[in-house]
Amino acid sequence: MSTEAGLPADLPRLHRPDGKRPRPGIVHLGLGAFFRAHGAVYVSEAMEKSGGDWGIIGVSLVRPDQRDLLAPQDYVYTALELGPEGETPRVITAVDRVLVARDDPQAVLAAMSDPAIRIVTLTVTEKGYCHEPSTGRLNRQHPDIVHDLAHPDAPLSAVGYLVRALERRRNAGLRPFTVLCCDNLPENGKVVKGVVIELAGLIDPALADWISTEGAFPSTMVDRIVPATKPEDIERLAAMTGVLDLSPVMHEPFRQWVVEDHFVDGARPDLGAVGVQLVSDVTPFEHMKLRCLNGTHSSLAYLGYLAGHETISDTVADPSFARFCKRLWREEIVPGLEAPEGVSLSAYTDALFERYSNPAIRHRTWQIAMDGSQKLPQRILSTVAENLKAGRPFAGLALAVAAWMRYVGGEDETGNQIDVRDPLAARLKSLSDAANGADGKVAALLGATEIFPPALAGNEDFHATLAKAYAGLLEKGAARMVEEVGA
Ligand code: CS2
């Protein structure tokens, strides 16, 4: 493996410290770096502190990499905290094993229908719910959903797995599991409940009723910045610890998890003992985080990328970007938010700025720019729509949306091609290519109704501001526009 280059060949592989695997109580769909650096860490701590059989069976829906990297080290891995003043490694032991759904759907369905499993957590990214971002409803034409309706024993989508496993549990007379969504969607519990019940209803209306009355889909707000692990991280960690971990995760010191305390039969790890906030209503936390953090993250990602910045910390080290970001919070985002009880929004955004500035976190603008079609509605467009109604400013957020439009056009400011990763990439590029001039391109992209709700797309003020911002990006470039709009 190339990542081993430069390391002594006899380095021992990381292994489970006490050799004991936790007994599973959770299946996690979409095991990736974020959950391993966030939810799995909390669950590990909760088991250490209060006990309970809450080991995690990880599921990768498609790719075998996580399983193949973790299996030889008995599914333990290092979570490396990257602080501005140094790095702290910690071995996480909560994962029991990893299954790959494409290789063995039966094993995944069997695990999910095991009575010992009480919770199914998910991080399948925004696009993994097969819903329409602008409405939150199931996209019944989605090829995976069409497939899942026809293949009860071998689903492709996470939604398909949830529904088929719940169906098996109901047929076996078991209680349902709690579905705990850990993706950055607004009212994520409601969204996943909506798509699950809609798909279940297409299969068997009685199943949909049972899920609706017996199931639980608590909403959550998750937060921790987790940049992709790079080969040099693996090497540095091995040099630091003297053991080889081929699948560590990198994360910032900060973490937050706010969870609606509504679980089937109250069965859950003792999350409250390890700092998870268990609340009756997550909405104010969710709005605060999605709009303040993810909203500016995406804004900085598109504008920063176009201006030639590689990471978020590089981007905010540029004074005009720093001014622009703070202006977005102060004038466009925070005024429309209701602060969660006991939280000062200005302290929250000050702390966010510090988190963005952490030079140890090399979080690439390109990484955050991925899947913009699935992210813009909840991160930026809902704020813009509310600001338009309330007569509040929105020019900075419109500049960010114009930068996204420029980005999905596929060419950067020096004429180089952009590697646009988005489920709608081809469609967005052809909409952009077929139109001419700033106004034409803006009009064409506003026509993507999966992203822009009709009332917003049809708003003349929004359209004109976007067209002006897009023209400015073409004429003057992102750096100049950020400087002007942020001033
Ligand atoms: C980021 C998030 O990649 C992205 O789109 O905005 O992953 C962000 O780092 C997390 O939500 C932080 O909690």
With beta carbons less than 8 A apart as the criterion, state whether 332 and 394 touch.
yes
CB 225 within 8 A of CB 250: no
| 103-155 pLDDT per residue, tens | 999 999 999 999 999 999 999 999 999 998 778 899 999 999 999 999 999 99
Q: Round to whole Å and give the CA distance between 91 and 78.
A: 4
Does residue 348 sit in helix, strand or coil? helix
Residue 3 pLDDT greater than 60, yes or no: no
DSSP state for residue 378 in the 8-state scheme = I
What band does 19 get if pLDDT is binned at 50, 70 and 90? confident
What is the reported pLDDT for 69?
A: 97
Q: Is 188 in the pocket of ligand 1 (CB under 6 A)?
A: no
Q: pLDDT grade, residue 415 (50/70/90)? A: very high
Q: What pLDDT is stored for residue 135 in this prediction?
A: 81
- Say if ligand 1 is within 6 A of residue 250 CB: no
Determine what percent of the chain is predicted with pLDDT higher than 90. Answer: 95
- Domains belonging to the chain, first-starting first, are 2-279 (3.40.50.720), 283-486 (1.10.1040.10)
Testing ligand 1's pocket by substitution, the residue of 254, 287, 297, 352 carrying the most ligand atoms inside 8 A of its CB is 297
Backbone angles phi, psi at 110, to 5 degrees: -65, -45
Q: Give counts: helices (H), strands (E), the chain.
A: 23, 11
Q: 2 pLDDT exceeds 90?
A: no
Q: Residue 5 — pLDDT band, cuts 50, 70, 90?
A: low
pLDDT grade, residue 180 (50/70/90)?
A: very high
| Confidence at 487, pLDDT banded by 50, 70, 90 | confident
Q: Nearest 10 degrees: CA dihedral of 135, 138, 143, 144?
A: 130
CA of 225 from ligand 1 middle (Å) equals 6
* Tokens standing for residue 35: 């959950």
Task: Output the residue whose Cα is nearest ligand 1's atom 1.
Answer: 368
The rounded Å distance from CA 295 to ligand 1 centre is 10
- Can you tell me the mean pLDDT for 402-410? 98
pLDDT at 150: 97
Span 428-452, mean pLDDT? Answer: 97
Q: Ligand 1 centre and the CA of 365: distance in Å?
A: 11
* Ligand 1 contact via 221 beta carbon (within 6 Å): no
Rounded Cα distance between 66 and 33, Å, is 9
Confidence of residue 9 (pLDDT cuts 50, 70, 90): confident
Average pLDDT of span 160-184: 98
Report the candidate in 473, 376, 474 with the shortest Cα–Cα distance to residue 484.
473
Confidence at 1, pLDDT banded by 50, 70, 90:
very low
Q: Is the CB of 300 under 6 A from ligand 1?
A: no
Ligand 1 centroid distance, CA of 368 (Å)? 7
Beta-carbon contacts of residue 38 (< 8 Å; ≥ 6 apart):
182, 222, 223, 224, 226, 251, 255, 257
Band (380; pLDDT cuts 50, 70, 90): very high
Please state, rounded to an integer, the average pLDDT across all residues of the chain.
Answer: 96
The CA 223 to ligand 1 mean position distance, Å, reads: 8
Mean pLDDT of 189-205: 97
Is the distance from the beta carbon of residue 224 to the nearest atom of ligand 1 less than 6 Å? yes
Q: Determine the average pLDDT of the residues in 387-394.
A: 98
Centroid of ligand 1 to alpha carbon of 62 (angstroms): 22
- Asked if residue 71 has pLDDT above 50, the reply is yes
Whether the predicted pLDDT of 476 surpasses 80: yes
Q: Which residue has 């097969």 as its token pair?
A: 130
Amino acid (one-letter) located at 399: L
Residues with Cβ within 8 Å of 418's Cβ and at least 6 positions away in sequence, in order, are 305, 407, 410, 411, 412
Residues 321-331 have a mean pLDDT of 98
Task: Give the contacts of 350 (CB within 8 A, at least 6 positions apart).
Answer: none
Residue nearest atom 9 of ligand 1, based on CA coordinates: 225
- Alpha-carbon distance 402 to 455, whole Å? 18
Structural tokens at position 255? 């973490």
Nearest-atom number in ligand 1 for the CA of 298 is 6
ipTM > 0.90, yes or no: yes
Answer whether 383 contacts ligand 1 (Cβ < 6 A): no
| Residue 84: per-residue pLDDT | 84
In the predicted structure, residue 427 carries a pLDDT above the cut 70 = yes
